Amino acid sequence: MLHARLRQAFGTQRWQMLTSWMEGLRSRPRVLLHGNPSLGLLVPSESDEPDALITGEELGLGSWQQDVGWVLGELHELRSLSVRLPLPVADHATWDSLAKRFSEGYGLLPDPSVHRAAALRTLLHLHDFCVFVTWDDTEIVRYTTLISHLVDEHGKD
């Protein structure tokens, strides 16, 4: 049911792009991933000390683009939620700064595949939410809107 709903919401062109992006990430050289860390494990510094990312036992193999895209996908999700919150949380510059600082800390600047991995990670999160938490039409619309925006923004790269 979710598959049909997503295909309808994204349309043929976006669905084909998402599929090709997934295949493209599979063909990249593999590295040790941080285990899909959540932003709850990102500890921002309140001084000149560097920020920290605490990673756990859920390690795996994949492209470095998947590693960076995972966290950037979470930032996209939180940014989309923040429009309901008061400033400065809703300030786009704050979210852009967090993404930039994370990428700098990783040591590799995002390429188009990083942004595509972020969109795919967001799609995976929607799937997991619908399957393991609850089916919520409002959330499905919110997520498909966000993912469509990411596909449209990074489909030309």
Annotate 37-69 with DSSP letters as a single string: --GGGEE--SSSSPPEE---S--EEE-HHHHHH
Distance of alpha carbon 24 from alpha carbon 7, whole angstroms: 20
Which residues, 6 or more positions from 7, have their beta carbon under 8 angstroms from its beta carbon? 15
pLDDT over threshold 70, residue 91? no
The pTM (predicted TM-score) of the whole model is 0.82
Distance of alpha carbon 61 from alpha carbon 82, whole angstroms: 32
Confidence of residue 85 (pLDDT cuts 50, 70, 90): low
- Residue bearing tokens 């786009």: 92
Give yes or no for a contact between 79 and 92, defined as CB atoms under 8 angstroms apart: yes
Residue range 135-153: average pLDDT? 93
Element (H, E) at 32: strand 31-33
Q: DSSP state, 132?
A: I
The pLDDT score that the predictor gives to residue 57 is 64
Distance of alpha carbon 19 from alpha carbon 70, whole angstroms: 17
Compute the CA torsion angle 132, 60, 15, 141 (nearest 10 deg): 30
Encoded tokens for 92: 């786009």
Q: What is the mean pLDDT of the chain?
A: 85
pLDDT over threshold 90, residue 76? no
